[in-house]
Amino acid sequence: MNLKEKIIDKIDILKRNPRLFAHVIKNVVKTRLGLFPKTPKEGNRFSTDLEVKTLQKYACIARVGIVEVGVLDGLTTREMAKVAQAPIYGIDPIIPDSMNERLIGNEEKIKQNLNFYPKFYFFKDYSFNVVKNWRQPFDFIFIDGDHTYEAVRQDFLQWFPLLQSGGTVAFHDSAPVTSTIPGGFIGWPGPIKLVAELKNSPALEFLEVQDSLSVFRKK
């Protein structure tokens, strides 16, 4: 999706949600007036506290394995590792991020962030390659890789059959965050569309949405 299409998609979402539109405008004005604290350069957050808490909630009950598609520098991976007992498998080809081309993960940072967790395994490759020979069992998967609709759908379709029954799947950026992010964040069209479709799937039970993180259980 090119920049123009992305902007049109976002405008469409705002048009359908006047309350969100008002909220975004309010936050833009607040940001311009300097009423929000500046995000520090280091420790720049891509996930809200509520999203991290929710990821930790499922990471700590995972018994057999946790897969994270899209690791970047390993920040969310680290948060999950703080509470997890199961092995964590992080997958990322280390390429420019689909939401922000200037954002590229760093293997050294991943190593540093996860050096305290002996059961972390990193796969430097695309999820659609890694899945082909996947053998390790897992009962939680966090999908946060390529955010285009086609890619996030493909991630779901390829990994879901391998997820244990009763396991959980979480999608980042799949709903608006209206409270905690300066300027507001309306989510990302690809995950939003997929999550809307999955809410009608008989194979899944929708569990919750916390900020932009939507979580389902495999029946």
Question: Does residue 117 touch ligand SAM according to CB under 6 A?
Answer: no
Query: Within the chain, where are the H helices?
Result: 3-15, 18-32, 49-59, 75-81, 107-114, 127-130, 149-159, 189-198
CB 68 within 8 A of CB 80: yes
Please identify, using beta-carbon distances, which residue of 79 and 139 lies nearer to ligand SAM. 79
Contacts of 47 (CB under 8 A, 6+ apart): 55, 75, 76, 79, 172, 213
Least CB distance to ligand SAM at residue 117 (A): 15
Least CB distance to ligand SAM at residue 67 (A): 10
* C-beta nearest to ligand SAM: residue: 70
Please identify, using beta-carbon distances, which residue of 21 and 123 lies nearer to ligand SAM. 123
Question: Does residue 93 touch ligand SAM according to CB under 6 A?
Answer: yes
d(CA 10, CA 38): 24
From residue 108, how far is each of 70, 81, 114, 179 by CA, in Å? 15, 17, 10, 33
d(CA 5, CA 217): 32
Q: Which of 47, 113, 212, 214 binds ligand SAM (CB under 6 A)?
A: 47
Question: Does residue 75 touch ligand SAM according to CB under 6 A?
Answer: yes
Site string for ligand SAM, 143-182 (x = CB under 6 A): -xxx------------------------------------
Least CB distance to ligand SAM at residue 75 (A): 4
The site for ligand SAM (CB under 6 A) is made up of 46-47, 69-72, 75-76, 91-95, 97-98, 105, 126-128, 144-146
